[in-house]
Structure 1
């Protein structure tokens, strides 16, 4: 049975054996044949975590002519405020107009917890449809309705005939999973069950005469990165559908008529690519993230092989790589031997670490937010290119482990998400973002642009060095002297190896 026949997607802990707790080295990972984590990712102490609502809201708020209706406590969904800058810039870059994400909440209170909140949800759906007249209403279940048993899917089914908007139930009950990447499955699940069915009668599908590919982006790339991948794919004579972020609802059904679907990040995309294959028989490629020289070339080769364009792609890659390597020559003397610590979602962290090794950096630590089967090949690539062992941490945040590791490995520069660079910065380490919707990261141009930013940061790291003299982290010297992975529970396999 397809997962899309269920009301909500299965937990990634069950579907992919995903986990969020491991500490050791890259060699430890390789020796265990990638079985790195304790099931359920248990720690005897956990400092913080991320709710799957965070990435889910980033995806949903990007869809034009949609409204996100949070069914839960009023605080649920508040992260949409912080993510709204990306929504505004994304709409501006693609459609030439500033547009905020629109989200509302049913603001469940103590009475609703006791008596149920379905009636309040029904009233909210009617009001959203009347006031905003969207094409889509995402009806998002938070923790509270999941605990008290509100039937969000049943409410959407009852009200669908009363409202003009498509109602898409999205299950984001944070207590059900520790793998916040499940958010991508939750949003894809809703889009697949509702928006990728038969198109409305008033929509005429635009069919291209060229071979067409679906290029997946769940907000892991900004428009500038999409442009780079479109450049590479159109050079092979292909037309490109980008899905799902910033895709207009009336254009979504064209995804079901493509010749091939291409992942840009296996962590994000496997759930939807499997569905498009099951229901519409669209083959897919889910290998490599096009970050770095070799990964970009291998990503392109996979697409070209599918369309029988092997000769053409090799000629194209030869030109692109030669031009890029010449452009990087001015940066490499500064990079040689510099130590780098990388922290991000698994595939982005690993592919970026591979890129940094290509640029001449010494990778001394990698922290991935979770682990699943799709990254096995990236660990193997990283082990091959670095040749030296280094610290490896699987952790959904846990800045106390990160601070300990930074003290030990003493990196020259730290790459992490914008809100995840503070620990390194306060320790006086130069930092740069590993993801920002306004900056280039993917493809050949992404390599060059990242190298420029790294060169600029390493040339003048004084800001963070000076800040560290006046700002202290809340950890004792005794903690820095302990094993950074002290609080990760050891499974039987780990303990015996």
Structure 2
């Protein structure tokens, strides 16, 4: 049975056997292939985590002419204030219009927890429809309705005839899963069940040269432009879904000739659905970050359309131009040590790019692990060696601080809200994802190198911070094994 026949997607712990707890040398993968990283592995001590509501909101708030209605406590929407900057810039980059996302909350109180919040949700849906006249309303279930048993899908089914907007229930009850990437499945689940056509509806509309370029918050507009440029060199028409995509246009996903993932962590759930229901094949092997990965990504697409020779010529020319542009920058990187922390595929593909630029990769932390990254670990082993630590962790800055003290990298690449530990230790930091900066394709490789060159040329800022800020860990912790609190599913320590 298709997962899309269910009211909500399964947990990634169940669907992909994903895990969040592992610590060992990268070389252990050659024989163990993360077998000790089991779905129920955990830590005896955990410092923090990531709620799946956060990445889900980043996508939903980007959809034009939509309202995001969160059913839960008022605080569950607080991240929308910071995330709105990405919505405004994304709209501006695409259409020259600075427009905010629209999000509301049912603001459940203690009384609602006792008596139930379904009536309040029904009223909020009707009010949002009448006030904003959106095309779609994402009705988001957070932790509270999941705990008290509110039937969000039932309310949506009951209220739908009374409103003009299409209602998309999205299940983001954070307590149900520790794998934050389940958020992408939740959003795709809602889109696939509500905004796509019936099977066979547009099977005769395929053009023979149209691709779905999937962007579930994998990149900003500048990176979309880079990949569009490369695909159009192959004379392919490009549809980009789902961020900043008009709800009415999402039906075009079902009419494409091929779907292309830009991040396997994000896309497999929807791509399998498009293939099963609409016979749209897909490619989900590489993330186009880095020189080798970009070439492999483009070559795979070209081979599907019988354009392999043309892609080979494009890749040869692009790599030659990039090599010339990187030549003045690469001497700065020789001997410099780099540590990378991000979502699994982004961390691994960026680590490979850093090695291509001449850095010595000395540590990688991925927020979770599942089967799609096996091929990336094999590339990383081949390119960088085996004797540095790999940490699978949903944040856990205490492990990060311990590793950084032991490794002493020259530069740390992490997310915007994940660079503070390294910065306070005096390590130069660079953001690994920002919607306004280039990271993807050949242009992304050059622009990242250019920014790192400037960062390493003058790293004093974080050095000065470290003189006046002290992390809250005792010296005894830095002398211990950073992975001492990780347990396997059987309860034994790693």
Q: TM > 0.5 between the two?
A: yes
Unpaired runs of at least 5, structure 2: none
Contact 1:71 / 1:139 at 8 angstroms: preserved in 2?
yes
Contact 1:206 / 1:254 at 8 angstroms: preserved in 2?
no
**Mapping of 1:86-101 within 5 angstroms?**
86-101=86-101
**Hey, what does 2:66 align to over in structure 1?**
66
The residue matched to 2:481 in structure 1 has which SS?
coil
Distance 2:489 2:155 in 1: 42
**Hey, what does 2:376 align to over in structure 1?**
378
Unpaired runs of at least 5, structure 1: none
Distance 2:331 2:91 in 1: 39
Q: TM-score, normalising length from structure 2? A: 0.97
Deviation at residue 198 of structure 1 after TM alignment: 4.9
**Mapping of 1:255-294 within 5 angstroms?**
255-294=253-292
The residue matched to 2:332 in structure 1 has which SS?
helix
**Hey, what does 2:195 align to over in structure 1?**
195
Count residues with an aligned counterpart: 493
Deviation at residue 208 of structure 1 after TM alignment: 7.9
Contact 2:485 / 2:493 at 8 angstroms: preserved in 1?
no
Q: Deviations over 1:94-119 (max 9, x none)?
A: 12111111110001111111111100
The residue matched to 2:430 in structure 1 has which SS?
strand
**Hey, what does 2:26 align to over in structure 1?**
26
Q: Deviations over 1:213-258 (max 9, x none)?
A: 0000011200000000000000001000000000011111111100
Cα distance change, pair 470–138 in 1 and its aligned pair in 2 (3 A): same
Q: Deviations over 1:371-391 (max 9, x none)?
A: 000000000000000124211
Which one is further off, 473-482 or 190-199? Answer: 190-199
Distance 2:220 2:25 in 1: 32
**Mapping of 1:188-267 within 5 angstroms?**
188-198=188-198, 211-267=209-265
Q: Name the Cα RMSD after superposition.
A: 1.7
Deviation at residue 209 of structure 1 after TM alignment: 5.0
**Hey, what does 2:325 align to over in structure 1?**
327
Q: TM-score, normalising length from structure 1? A: 0.97
Distance 1:344 1:110 in 2: 36
Which one is further off, 124-133 or 483-492? Answer: 483-492
The residue matched to 1:340 in structure 2 has which SS?
strand
Distance 1:284 1:293 in 2: 22
The residue matched to 1:418 in structure 2 has which SS?
coil
Distance 2:491 2:261 in 1: 32
**Mapping of 1:312-461 within 5 angstroms?**
312-461=310-459
Q: Deviations over 1:22-57 (max 9, x none)?
A: 011101222212324143231000000010000000
**Hey, what does 1:52 align to over in structure 2?**
52
Contact 2:203 / 2:278 at 8 angstroms: preserved in 1?
no
**Hey, what does 2:465 align to over in structure 1?**
467
**After TM superposition, what 4+ stretches of structure 1 lie above 6 angstroms from structure 2?**
204-208, 493-496
Contact 2:206 / 2:255 at 8 angstroms: preserved in 1?
no
Distance 1:36 1:375 in 2: 15
Q: Deviations over 1:146-195 (max 9, x none)?
A: 01111100111111111000000000000000000000000000000000
Q: Deviations over 1:356-401 (max 9, x none)?
A: 0011111100000000000000000000001242111000000000
Contact 1:208 / 1:239 at 8 angstroms: preserved in 2?
no
Distance 1:164 1:177 in 2: 33
Contact 1:66 / 1:102 at 8 angstroms: preserved in 2?
yes
Contact 2:12 / 2:18 at 8 angstroms: preserved in 1?
yes
Which one is further off, 486-495 or 321-330? Answer: 486-495
Distance 1:242 1:89 in 2: 17
Cα distance change, pair 494–389 in 1 and its aligned pair in 2 (3 A): farther
Contact 1:8 / 1:186 at 8 angstroms: preserved in 2?
yes
Contact 2:22 / 2:392 at 8 angstroms: preserved in 1?
yes
Deviation at residue 337 of structure 1 after TM alignment: 1.4
Q: Does 1:159 align with 2:152?
A: no
Deviation at residue 495 of structure 1 after TM alignment: 6.6
Which one is further off, 26-35 or 486-495? Answer: 486-495
The residue matched to 2:40 in structure 1 has which SS?
helix
